Amino acid sequence: MQMAGIPFGTTDWDDVPVTVHKGERGEARWRTRQFGDIRVRMVEYSPGYLADHWCVKGHILLVLEGSMRTELKDGRVFEMKPGISYQVADNAEAHQSSTETGAKLFIVD
């Protein structure tokens, strides 16, 4: 990935509008910035959240608060807590997120 044409800038995430995305259970609240082809998000999952799909988009994801579970379509499960990240390429391994307690994430894709 080449990051070009992005001047230095800062983001106050509290000033970025929220979009709500319903899950199979609960909801995900996204604050999204777009920098060329790069999408950067601060995402909050409500307690009890379960994604409504198996995602094949590549991400770099860092858990900031709370905890979540990421399951791969092949059955592997990863318990994620603050300070733990994952990375996956586009169309590499389908994954689905859930949380019992809620979670706050920083995601680049």
* Summary mean pLDDT of the chain: 96
Q: Which residue ranges in the chain fall short of pLDDT 70?
A: 1
Q: What's the confidence (pLDDT) of residue 2? A: 75
Assign residue 56 a region (left: φ > 0; alpha: ψ between -120 and 50; beta: otherwise): alpha
Q: Which residues contact 55 (CB under 8 A, 6 or more apart)?
A: 94, 95, 96, 97
Domains of the chain and CATH, by start: 18-108 (2.60.120.10)
Instruction: Name the helix (H) or strand (E) containing 23.
Output: none
pLDDT of 5: 87
CA-to-CA distance for 29 and 32, rounded, in angstroms? 10
At 1 the pLDDT is 66
Residue 56's identity, in one-letter code, is V
pTM, two decimal places: 0.93
